[in-house]
Every structure is written in C-alpha cells, then in structure tokens.
Amino acid sequence: MPNYECDKCGACCRGNLLVEVYDLDVWREPKLADSHISLWTRDMTRQTLMDELEQEGKCLIIAGGPDACAFLREDNTCDIYPTRPNVCVAMQAGDDQCQLARQADGLPELRPGGA
C-alpha cells in the first residue's frame, strides 16, 4: 500500500463510521464505558457491563450516525490516543474506511504522500 499521511481531518471519528468498543478496550480505557452511544443503559454497574461485553459479539458503539466520538477534540486529535480502542489503532490513513469517511464529509480523497 502506498504511504499515506493522515491529515487529521477527523472524518473517521465524526460519526461517518461505526466505532465499536469491546471488553478489552474498556479494560484498558474505562472512560469508554461512560461515553458510548449504544442503546445500553449507562447506569448498569461496571461489572454487569463487563459481563455483557465478555459475551461473544457484544460491543459498545462510541461513534456513528449523527454522533461524533466524545473523545474527538476540537483540533481533531484524540483525547485518549494512547488508550484508544483497537479498532482505532487498526485504522490506517488512506484505507477504504478512511476514504469512505472523508467522502461522507465531502472531503477529497486522501492521496499518497499527503499530496
């Protein structure tokens, strides 16, 4: 894959993509449990929440539809960057998800080398 440089447009965190959070993500960054936009109730105990998340396939959603991620700062950086969810770690500038998110925000396609 060519070398793409993220231009910090923030489109991938602004709700253009569903951002899923799993139990390991919440163990690493407990703040994720308080910021989700899932239909799950927020006042369930942490243990109940973790028990639910440990069931295969269950996750929280922290961004999607009209809702931007609560950790997206005004300058489009991530407030929990060192402990962000795995799905965010796996996101690569220039990949299909990146380009889709940019398209949804009316931004031009990201080009290799930041051009």
For residues 9 and 107, the answer to whether their CB atoms sit within 8 Å is yes
- Residues 94 and 99: their CA atoms lie apart, in Å, by 6
Residues 63-92 that bind ligand SF4 (CB under 6 A): 63, 69, 71-72, 78, 80, 84-85, 88, 91
Query: In a 10 Å sphere around its CB, with 0-12 CB exposed, 13-18 middle and 19+ buried, how is residue 87 labelled?
Result: middle
Name the residue nearer to ligand SF4 (CB basis): 44 or 108. 108
Q: Which two tokens stand for residue 94?
A: 């220039």
Kindly provide the residue ranges of all beta strands, DSSP E only, lying in 28-79, ordered along the sequence. Answer: 60-63
Span 31-70, contacts to ligand SF4 by CB under 6 A: 63, 69
Nearest distance from C-beta of residue 115 to ligand SF4, angstroms: 13
Q: Which residues sit at the interface with ligand SF4, rule CB under 6 A?
A: 6-13, 19, 63, 69, 71-72, 78, 80, 84-85, 88, 91, 93, 98, 101-102, 110
